[in-house]
């Protein structure tokens, strides 16, 4: 099991902002509902072809991180960071259309799941050989640094990815160049079926930060406020020109690697322990305890979220699949851009 | 017009693009203070500053990846590979990230990866490769390989202005061995256009890179025997100029495909296929390949000499084909 112990002291945010908590609970619930519908309804109905990867149990990481972002910041979410796309400006209907391989979708049927990006929104998706986005995030951060407006680049990746060479190169490069990058490791303790003890030999990945000359911190990835606070600390350093931060957010993937995987390799006791730490229930309890929202208001929010998901799926399903002959279009960005239909 | 070496022509092209467009910058290993292993970027740090001439750690994945990130943010990075052999360390970024971004979700990825390739300087297996076909087989990339100083300058400018990732193969054997009149004003050589270097009627020799000079030498020699070779310099390998390849084939009816790269899966195989598909009726003899054998590039001079195609090998192949 991944340890949350770290050489860096974890300081909890003290100020509780009701509006921020409202956004957090909304995006957490919307993400959970949308992903449940994808995994348990659309996939089982055969409407989603290919793999289904969801982030149940780790929603707080995407929500906590993306809500720290300002205009001009950019993000490189991973395949289980559904909320980041929503928070940074993709519509739920467009996202659903992409899952359903529709022609009128962010990738026009060329790419699956959350491999969707948008330069104007500052969202850059993964490629399936994971880890490659870390160096790319460094390049975006180089440009942000040169612009001098105090913007940051956030990049998410799993603990399995930390074993790849890309990660070493990117973290070293970012530290040497003092780039405004926050490396956010979504440590959900299993890379497909591989547990952390077969992935790395340190107690906590937080030590990787100081090894490259940047702060390293490990936080409870089921605590959205802890994630938010830790990313904010990294952002503050980065915005002040002090360079990158490495952050490990520990949780458990409460689902298989993909929808076909029952995750029988995860010990039952571990599942039970982490089920008690469900990130949405944790925040909901806090919100009720602090009387920020009533039980009735939360139920209303849940109803609204269900309606939003219904509407997005209906919208997406009404869009046609792309015509086959489009497969050969848009390989190059030449005199006329197939995507924008604009002359370049 | 000033006489410039192939290397100086590349530098001049880069320099002019840096002056013309503030979004252009260069990034790589030892390119700033040292001016690059072959001195292509010499003097640029002093002129353009360290924001635009960026010395990096030895991290090809991070360098290429960072260039992609910068390109996505609107810049036009030019990456130097110290040797094209080392490009393998950045392979994932090139073939899985850069090449597919536009097709997957639409962004422009205006970037160039340039560096020295090719053998003939006793560099051994890791300072001599012609590995251009790794990238010619990757849709979404463009691949160019200039043979002349004039083309090197014109093509580096086209590559920098292109909105797609371009892999720019310089030939290290040519760096200081050829000198040509190169205009010191702005001009471009379009990507995807071949050029007939020497017109002829008996055999078309289709080639690129340093082998263009080998073909020209063979053509001069064979002319004395009454055999005229047409020499086609592809200049771009992806996309390649099918029209010029087929026109030269139809004109000469006999074809030699010449490259320094190894044989199996080389450019010659692709060209042979397109010639057989589209100009079969024009052929008066077999399509002949003159290439390096399917081995790594060896180090010792006699081994390397045996490995590389040369004027003699082209002449022998041409005589055999002429008699067909």
Tens digits of residue pLDDT in B256-311 = 999 999 999 999 999 999 999 999 999 999 999 999 999 999 999 999 999 999 99
Subunit contact A331:B102, Cβ cutoff 8 A: yes
Q: How far is A70 from A201, CA to CA, in rounded Å? A: 36
Tens digits of residue pLDDT in B203-223 = 999 999 999 999 999 999 999
So what's the pLDDT on residue A342?
74
Q: Looking at the domain assignment, is residue A8 inside a domain?
A: no
Q: How far is B61 from A136, CA to CA, in rounded Å? A: 9
Subunit contact B104:A111, Cβ cutoff 8 A: yes
Q: Looking at the domain assignment, is residue A11 inside a domain?
A: no
| B140 in contact with A, Cβ within 8 Å | yes
Residue ranges, comma separated, of all CATH 3.40.50.920 domains in chain B are 195-322
Q: Long-range contacts made by residues A341-344, C-beta under 8 angstroms, separation at least 24?
A: A344/B108, A344/B163
Closest residue on chain B to A130 (Cα)? B92
> Is B171 one of the catalytic residues?
no
Subunit contact B65:A339, Cβ cutoff 8 A: no
What are the chain A neighbours of B139 within 8 Å (beta carbons)? 331
Q: How far is A205 from A5, CA to CA, in rounded Å? A: 9
Q: Looking at the domain assignment, is residue A206 inside a domain?
A: yes
Subunit contact B163:A344, Cβ cutoff 8 A: yes
Q: Looking at the domain assignment, is residue A26 inside a domain?
A: yes
Q: How far is B104 from A118, CA to CA, in rounded Å? A: 11
Subunit contact B164:A169, Cβ cutoff 8 A: no
Which listed residue (B102, B127, B137, B259) is catalytic?
Answer: B127
Top residue of A74, A101, A139, A147 to mutate, by most chain B CBs within 10 Å, is A139
For the CA atoms of A336, B94, A147, B42, the dihedral, rounded to the nearest 10 degrees, stands at -110
Residue ranges, comma separated, of all CATH 3.40.50.970 domains in chain B are 3-181
For the CA atoms of B2, B4, B9, B12, the dihedral, rounded to the nearest 10 degrees, stands at -50
What are the chain A neighbours of B23 within 8 Å (beta carbons)? none
CA A216 to chain B, closest CA, distance in angstroms equals 20
What ipTM does this complex have?
Answer: 0.96
Indicate the angle between helix axes B267-278 and B242-252, nearest 10 degrees.
Answer: 70
**DSSP state for residue A123 in the 8-state scheme:** B
Q: How far is A37 from A322, CA to CA, in rounded Å? A: 23
| B102 in contact with A, Cβ within 8 Å | yes
Q: Is the dihedral of CA B152, B156, B157, B158 positive or negative?
A: positive
Domain containing residue A336: CATH number: 3.40.50.970
So what's the pLDDT on residue B140?
98
Closest residue on chain A to B91 (Cα)? A132
CA A106 to chain B, closest CA, distance in angstroms equals 7
Subunit contact B69:A170, Cβ cutoff 8 A: no
Reference B70, options A242, A119, A102, A262; nearest CA is A119
A251-289 CB burial, b ≥16 within 10 A, e <16 = bbbbbbbbbebebeebeeeeeeebeebbbbebbbebbee
Top residue of A333, A335, A341, A343 to mutate, by most chain B CBs within 10 Å, is A333
To which residue do tokens 């080389």 refer? B266
Residue A336: pLDDT over 90: no
- Identify the burial level of B22 via C-beta atoms within 10 angstroms of its C-beta, where 0-12 means exposed, 13-18 middle and 19 or more buried: exposed
Tens digits of residue pLDDT in A171-224 = 999 999 999 999 999 999 999 999 999 999 999 999 999 999 999 999 999 999
Closest residue on chain A to B76 (Cα)? A143
Which of B57, B100, B105 is opposite residue A176, by nearest beta carbon?
A: B57
DSSP 3-state of B324: coil
Mean pLDDT of B6-17: 98
So what's the pLDDT on residue A50?
84
Subunit contact B73:A139, Cβ cutoff 8 A: yes
Q: Looking at the domain assignment, is residue A118 inside a domain?
A: yes
Contact by Cβ (8 Å): B282, B249: yes
Top residue of B79, B104, B158, B238 to mutate, by most chain A CBs within 10 Å, is B104
Q: Kindly report whether the peptide bond that precedes residue B239 is cis, defined as omega within 30 degrees of 0.
A: yes
Task: Please report the beta strands in A253-344, taking only residues with DSSP state E, as ranges in sequence order.
Answer: 336-337, 342-343
The DSSP-derived string for B111-148 is EEEEEEE--SS---TTSS---THHHHTSTT-EEE---S
CATH topology of domain B3-181: Rossmann fold (3.40.50)
* CATH number, domain B195-322: 3.40.50.920
Helix and strand tally (H, E) in chain B? 12, 14
- Counting the structural domains of chain A, the total is 1
Element containing residue B272 per DSSP (H, E): helix B267-278
Subunit contact B68:A135, Cβ cutoff 8 A: yes
Reference A305, options A65, A13, A37, A19; nearest CA is A37
Subunit contact B164:A333, Cβ cutoff 8 A: yes
State the residue range of the domain holding A325.
18-343
- Identify the burial level of A180 via C-beta atoms within 10 angstroms of its C-beta, where 0-12 means exposed, 13-18 middle and 19 or more buried: buried
So what's the pLDDT on residue A340?
85
Tens digits of residue pLDDT in B105-159 = 999 999 999 999 999 999 999 999 999 999 999 999 999 999 999 999 999 999 9
Provide the pLDDT confidence category of residue A120 given band limits of 50, 70 and 90: very high
CA A221 to chain B, closest CA, distance in angstroms equals 27
What percent of chain A is predicted at pLDDT more than 90? 91
Interchain CB contacts (distance < 8 Å): A and B: 134
Q: Looking at the domain assignment, is residue A40 inside a domain?
A: yes
Residue B188: pLDDT over 90: yes
């Amino acid at each position: 099991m991944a340890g949350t112990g770290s050489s860096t002291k974890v300081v909890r945010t003290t100020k509780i902002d009701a509006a921020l908590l409202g956004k957090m609970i909304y995006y957490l619930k919307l993400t959970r509902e949308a992903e449940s519908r994808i995994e348990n309804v659309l996939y089982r109905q055969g409407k989603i072809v290919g793999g289904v990867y969801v982030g149940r149990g780790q929603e707080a990481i995407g929500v906590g991180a993306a809500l720290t972002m300002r205009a001009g910041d950019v993000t490189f979410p991973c395949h289980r960071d559904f909320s980041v796309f929503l928070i940074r400006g993709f519509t739920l209907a467009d996202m659903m259309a992409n899952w359903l391989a529709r022609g009128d979708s962010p990738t026009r049927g060329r790419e699956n799941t959350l491999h969707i990006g948008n330069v104007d929104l500052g969202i850059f998706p993964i490629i399936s050989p994971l880890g490659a986005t870390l160096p790319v995030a460094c390049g975006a951060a180089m440009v942000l640094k040169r612009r001098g407006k105090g913007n940051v680049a956030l990049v998410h990746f799993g603990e399995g990815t930390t074993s790849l060479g890309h990660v070493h190169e990117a973290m070293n490069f970012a530290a040497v160049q003092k780039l405004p990058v926050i490396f956010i490791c979504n440590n959900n303790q299993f890379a497909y079926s591989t547990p952390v003890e077969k992935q790395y030999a340190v107690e906590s990945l937080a030590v990787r930060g100081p090894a490259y000359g940047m702060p390293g911190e490990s936080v409870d990835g089921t605590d959205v406020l802890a994630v938010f606070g830790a990313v904010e600390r990294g952002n503050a350093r980065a915005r002040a020109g002090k360079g990158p931060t490495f952050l490990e957010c520990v949780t458990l993937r409460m689902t298989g690697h993909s929808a076909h995987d029952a995750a029988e390799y995860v010990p039952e006791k571990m599942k039970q322990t982490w089920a008690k730490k469900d990130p949405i229930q944790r925040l909901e309890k806090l919100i009720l305890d602090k009387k920020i929202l009533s039980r009735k208001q939360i139920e209303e929010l849940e109803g609204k979220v269900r309606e939003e998901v219904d509407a997005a799926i209906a919208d997406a399903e009404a869009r046609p699949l792309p015509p086959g002959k489009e497969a050969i279009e848009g390989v190059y960005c030449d005199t006329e851009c197939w995507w924008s239909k604009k002359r370049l | 017009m000033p006489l410039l070496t192939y290397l100086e022509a590349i530098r001049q092209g880069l320099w002019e693009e840096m002056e013309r467009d503030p979004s252009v910058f260069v990034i790589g290993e030892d390119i700033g203070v040292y001016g690059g292993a072959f001195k292509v970027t010499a003097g640029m740090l002093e002129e353009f500053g360290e924001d635009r001439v960026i010395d990096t750690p030895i991290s090809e994945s991070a360098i290429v990846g960072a260039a992609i990130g910068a390109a996505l943010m609107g810049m036009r990075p030019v990456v130097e590979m110290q040797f094209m052999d080392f490009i393998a360390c950045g392979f994932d970024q090139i073939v899985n990230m850069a090449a597919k971004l536009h097709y997957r979700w639409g962004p422009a990825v205006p970037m160039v990866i340039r560096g020295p390739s090719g053998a003939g300087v006793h560099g051994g297996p890791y300072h001599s490769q012609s590995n251009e076909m790794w990238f010619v087989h990757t849709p979404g990339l463009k691949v160019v390989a200039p043979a002349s100083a004039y083309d090197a300058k014109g093509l580096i400018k086209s590559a920098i202005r292109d909105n797609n990732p371009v892999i720019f193969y310089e030939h290290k054997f040519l760096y200081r061995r050829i000198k040509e009149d190169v205009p010191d004003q702005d001009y471009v050589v379009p990507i995807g256009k071949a050029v007939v270097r020497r017109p002829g009627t008996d055999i078309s020799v289709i080639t690129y890179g340093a082998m263009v000079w080998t073909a020209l030498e063979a053509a001069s020699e064979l002319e004395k025997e009454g055999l005229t070779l047409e020499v086609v310099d592809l200049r771009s390998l992806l996309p390649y100029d099918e029209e010029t390849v087929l026109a030269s084939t139809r004109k000469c009816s006999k074809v030699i495909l010449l490259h320094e790269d190894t044989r199996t899966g080389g450019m010659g195989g692709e060209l042979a296929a397109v010639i057989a598909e589209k100009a079969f009726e024009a052929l008066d003899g077999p399509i002949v390949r003159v290439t390096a054998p399917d081995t790594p590039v060896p180090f010792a001079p006699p081994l390397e000499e045996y490995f590389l195609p040369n004027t003699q090998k082209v002449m022998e192949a041409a005589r055999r084909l002429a008699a067909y």
